[in-house]
Amino acid sequence: MQQLRIGFNEIHYRIERSSRRRTVCITVHPQNGVVVKAPPWAAEDEIELFVRQKASWISKHLTVFSALPQAAPSEERLSDGAVLPLLGRSLNLRLSVQPRSSSRQRSRLRLHEDELHVELRLSPGEDQAGALRGVLTRWYRQQARHLLYPRLAFFAAQLGLPEPELLIREQRSRWGSCNRRGEIRINWRILLGPAEVADYLIAHEVCHLKQMNHSPRFWRLVARLVPDYKALRQKLKLEGHLYSL
């Protein structure tokens, strides 16, 4: 972690180097803070100068993020009676914990109306919060394919495209991606946000099947599928850090 003082302010930033990069860029994230992405050959004094030049822009984003709501502690989110989000729905977690009598005995989940019943099976000494998070993550990933694929097919049809392949992933810093093979990757955590934000994300990636860039033509395609995409894009940027278990 690097530290830079500009006037009375301090900017803390982390440098991530990649051989795939050709230029230096800066990202500001509510949880990850300030990250400078640079090619291996970029000198640290060059990076520091770049950060100084962008100091006003960085400070503006840090101020905005500091005012955002913070996620509740995991022990509150993952306890009996907690509320779990699912594309704008609120699911009440009904948790029971039982000892695991054999290695083959699995935890069980059942969704009934707006209640998610979890019978968590634990081995002696196993961390309850970690085990529950793992069980819930697997369930959400299963739901992601079931809930998101119809939207993917719908947006593809709007552009006259065949149904692309949907791959569910958990990426640290990306919500989605698309490649030239027609595969679309979506981060399952988008299920923890509103349905309209998930729609924007899926439409965004579908549009990349026609335009593998972020040109004005690309954004016109996105606007055709999701007219209010700008507001939803901003919502994902500002609130995406809350989409976690």
| Same domain, yes or no: 56 and 80 | no
What's the whole-model pTM score? 0.73
**Does residue 221 register a pLDDT over 90?**
yes
Last residue of a domain, one of 48, 66, 84: 66
| Same domain, yes or no: 12 and 99 | no
Mean residue pLDDT across the chain: 87
Summarised one tens digit per residue, pLDDT across range 45-90 is 899 899 888 888 888 877 777 666 555 545 566 788 889 999 999 9
Q: Where are the alpha helices (DSSP H) in the chain?
A: 44-53, 55-66, 74-77, 128-158, 195-207, 216-225, 229-239
Domain ranges, residue 82: 75-242
What CATH number does residue 108 fall under?
A: 3.30.2010.10
C-alpha 80/C-alpha 118 separation (Å) is 9
Task: Calculate what percentage of the chain has a pLDDT beyond 90.
Answer: 44
